[in-house]
Chain A
Amino acid sequence: MTAREVTVIGCRGAAPGRASGPAVVSSDAICFYLVDPPTGTVIESGHAIEGRVIAGSVLVCPGGKGSSVVQADGLYQLAKAGTAPAAVVVAEFDTVLVASAVVVGVPLVRCAPEDFERIRDGDVLDVDSDREVVTIR
């Protein structure tokens, strides 16, 4: 047991799996097509986390955006290049994001708004979509 304070919050699982990583928190919804596959850097002009690397992180954002096609291909290209986020935590599900995460195999969960707000950039998160819990370290 560590002495550090940990917080466990409930969540709703969509795409199954478990993963851990540092939280990258975005106030903008994500379109994975506008993330650079070789580096995992957000390249969308004007985006809240433009220039940040999401590879291996737990991406925390309000939800997904972008057309029915590009979200899946964007995430697939990141996964193929090894630069996908380890897991994604959102405040709201949309069908395109859920289907993309399920098909590509990136754990995806949704937290209630009050819990979502508690996650800070740089927190280390353990996301367990199967047990439907997120642990903040």
Chain B
Amino acid sequence: MKLTDRDREMLDGVDGEGVALAMQVLVAIGRAFDAEQMGDISRAHVALSNQDADIWFAERLVAGGAVCRIPPTVNPGFCLEFFRHLPGLTPEDMESMERTEAAYRALGAQLTYNCTPYLQGNVPRFGEVTAYSESSATPYMNSVYGARTNRESAQSALCAAVTGRVPIYGLLLDENRKGQVHVHVEPTLTDEFDYHLLGYAVPRKASLQTAFIPVFTGVPANVSPEALMNLGAELNTGGNVPMYHIVGVTPEAPTLEAAFYDEPPGDPVVITADDLAEEQQMLSAEGGAIDFALLGCPHLSLDQLRAIADRIGGRQFKVEFWVMTSFYAKELANRMGIAEVIEKAGGHLVPDTCIDQVVWKHLAGKRGVTDSLKGAYYTQRRDMGFVLRSVGDCVEAAIKGAAS
């Protein structure tokens, strides 16, 4: 791989040990993927996680004096202010998030603590070269905006933010953005929850475990940002899908032919209504009594919060009802009276927090309802059983204390 003089200086430690470490990681990645050179990035998003490896690596960079050249937005751990006064968390639990915050502050990151930066706060133009980690963010950037990012890990995105550089390979190159598998969606999808199911069903039905780029037909042209957020999150959890095309919707797929670079698309993988129902049945716990509802993986948007408030219709929740959202959406929900409606019903709007965090340990061993297949998958280690339903049905379940 050809390095510029400046790349080599960073690698040799001229900018300190932290920058050198970041450059070493990027060069190793570049060599693995036969990158010919490094290039500048204009934006980055780091999937901060407040997990041990995250703290360990961020503190190594800080100890080496690294500061981000491109201040990245970051994923949530948990909101210190919100949870500090709630029972059940030990001083050690709090200390890990305090260390995470201190490390990322020292690195100069934008402390947004939100997993949907592509909806607000870190929005690219078409064609920008970026480094985004977070499973819902990478496909959204590539697919919906036509910006360019590889499927970065939290650490590789942080190294890119520190140096302002990435190895040029994979989805940063035109030739690798070509559609690979035609997927036709038979039913007309109406609810955003359908896109959670669709995203999870496609890698299974296509029998593909390695990275691939699906090209969708049959998805309505007015598909919502939230539906696309869910689709990407699940495609990239159930499988390894850093980019998709939707014919007539996403910018690099004006036609089926264009998405496949004029090569024959082959026989389509057809997704039926039965496939989606089967996916839900396979992954969901059986309906019945529930102890809690936990929504917001990825963070629910302002529109989704409004839909919840409308759905409540003056009723009360029988079980704990938690919604994770961004600080932007929470602030707007406060101003608009939406938060008040949800809180009056006994629900909680939680900013800056992820489903896969220690703050939810009081829900271990209990049965909940959620709309997120991704959330249910990653909390297998936390012993939370989930019934999977649409956001609207989750609201109903929490009001009744049972999922249909």
**Residues of A that sit less than 8 Å from B by CB:** 12-16, 28-29, 33-34, 43-45, 62-73, 75-77, 80, 91-96, 98-100, 102-104, 110
Contact = CB atoms under 8 A, between A and B. Distances in A.
Interface stretch (B25-33, B307-315, B344-352): B25-33
Contact of B52 (A63, A71, A77, A91): A77
Interface stretch (B131-139, B331-339, B391-399): B131-139
B378 A76 contact: no
Contacts of A103: 25, 53, 57, 155
23 contacts: A13-B32, A14-B29, A34-B380, A64-B240, A65-B239, A65-B240, A66-B237, A67-B237, A68-B138, A68-B152, A68-B157, A69-B134, A70-B51, A70-B378, A93-B33, A95-B33, A95-B150, A95-B153, A99-B29, A100-B153, A102-B24, A103-B155, A104-B53
A29 B52 contact: no
Nearest to A97: B153
Contact of A99 (B25, B52, B209, B211): B25
A45 B380 contact: yes
Contacts of B28: 14-16, 98, 102
Contacts of B52: 73, 76-77, 80
Interface of B: 24-25, 28-29, 31-33, 47, 49, 51-54, 56-57, 75, 133-135, 138, 150-157, 159, 170, 209-211, 236-237, 239-240, 356, 374, 378, 380-381
B29 A98 contact: yes
If over half of A's interface residues share one DSSP class (helix, strand or loop), that class is named, otherwise mixed; here it is mixed
A91 B210 CA distance: 9
Contact of B211 (A33, A66, A73, A92): A92
Given A98-B29, A99-B25, A76 B53 contact: yes
A67 B210 CA distance: 14
Given A68-B154, A96-B152, A99-B152, A73 B381 contact: no
B54 A69 contact: yes
Given A68-B157, A69-B47, A69-B54, A33 B378 contact: yes
Contacts of A73: 49, 51-54
